[in-house]
Chain A
């Protein structure tokens, strides 16, 4: 009986801590996304018309020289590992039995993706754009998710 009480208490505590942590994280994500709204990031490599002040650069070499208005390019990345609270694992176990969408984990992966993208963009704050952005997800432990976002940051000649 003692272990049942322990489990119930743990579930109640982690429900509250989990909710607070999630809300706090979302607040931080929204604020940072708003701050960085002006840095374009794209999943395509074609940026000709998309990036302001950059009429037609070709990423390919021309006569062993990079196109003139492209100053430099670098790989930028951001990764995050998020853990699941105990209450959510209980809810997941129940949901897994009945089937259906696992909302708690949907919110978790949403947070992880957006946090990874944010970290990638924070890695290159002075970049003019991030191109070819990709996302990868992997499972770290039993109840952790890792998301890595990476792309090519380009810096233009001003």
Chain B
């Protein structure tokens, strides 16, 4: 028997599949699966959310150990004034079933949120910018609108479910999970244009219920306009 030098054949153990082509096709199938999930989940959530009563919402919050409310409250003397302002809005114009409370959050970025369980958060940045009482009532009314339309539940639902599903499929340490949850949370932390418009409509409604006119509603819009222009 004679020795025959080993010649390695590149094509046997090292297939020359193009990685980019493979990546694109796999990503396509994954996006397809996620899209189907997203549509089904979105549909289910929209259907469910309108049936969840504020009472059930409070119970869910209790069951979850108040986990969604991890935002740190700031003890600020302005909180009481804001709460008094909220309480002074005629009860019959508020969304039914909630006991609303208002809190201040230490954050420069002007913003306000509606959080599970009837909590409204306003950032110090926004309080510094809004000068009039009417402007504040409009913002409170806008957030009340998100409660009335259940937007806070909707937004919580979809992003959470998608992130949770990818976490189950890929494990919480996978780079895919980070990628997908970063993406879906990014989308879901913002409300849609229609949702915002509906909430604005509520802001105006609340203003009218409290003062009998809608003066001061423009302060918030002017602030927004100024900010987008300066960006």
Partner of A91, one of B26, B29, B174: B26
CA distance A26 to B8 in the complex (A): 11
Inter-chain contacts of B182 with A (CB < 8 A): 1, 3-4, 7
Inter-chain contacts of B228 with A (CB < 8 A): none
Q: Is the CB of B1 within 8 A of A50?
A: yes
Q: Is the CB of B15 within 8 A of A93?
A: no
B30 at the A/B interface (Cβ < 8 Å)? yes
**A94-B30, A98-B29 are contacts. A107–B175 as well, Cβ < 8 Å?**
no
B63 at the A/B interface (Cβ < 8 Å)? no
**A93-B174, A98-B26, A107-B14 are contacts. A40–B3 as well, Cβ < 8 Å?**
yes
B36 at the A/B interface (Cβ < 8 Å)? no
Inter-chain contacts of B30 with A (CB < 8 A): 94, 97
Range class of the A interface residue count: 35 or more
A75-92 vs B, CB cutoff 8 Å, 1 = contact: the mask equals: 000000000000111110
A-B pairs, 3 with minimum CB distance: A110-B14, A94-B26, A103-B17
Inter-chain contacts of B15 with A (CB < 8 A): 101, 103, 106-107
**A50-B3, A91-B26, A93-B174 are contacts. A106–B19 as well, Cβ < 8 Å?**
no
Which residue of chain B lies nearest to A86 when distances are taken between CB atoms in the complex?
A: B175
A37 at the A/B interface (Cβ < 8 Å)? yes
CB of B153 to closest CB in A, whole Å: 24
Inter-chain contacts of B14 with A (CB < 8 A): 106-107, 110-111
**A95-B26, A101-B15, A110-B14 are contacts. A90–B176 as well, Cβ < 8 Å?**
yes
CB of B174 to closest CB in A, whole Å: 5
Q: How many residues of B contact A (CB 8 A)?
A: 30
Tally A-B pairs: CB < 8 A.
81
A49 at the A/B interface (Cβ < 8 Å)? yes
Q: Is the CB of A90 within 8 A of B23?
A: yes
Inter-chain contacts of A110 with B (CB < 8 A): 10, 13-14
Inter-chain contacts of A41 with B (CB < 8 A): 6
B27 at the A/B interface (Cβ < 8 Å)? yes
Inter-chain contacts of A38 with B (CB < 8 A): 5
Inter-chain contacts of A111 with B (CB < 8 A): 14
CB of A140 to closest CB in B, whole Å: 18
CB of B182 to closest CB in A, whole Å: 5
**A33-B8, A94-B26 are contacts. A15–B3 as well, Cβ < 8 Å?**
no
B186 at the A/B interface (Cβ < 8 Å)? yes
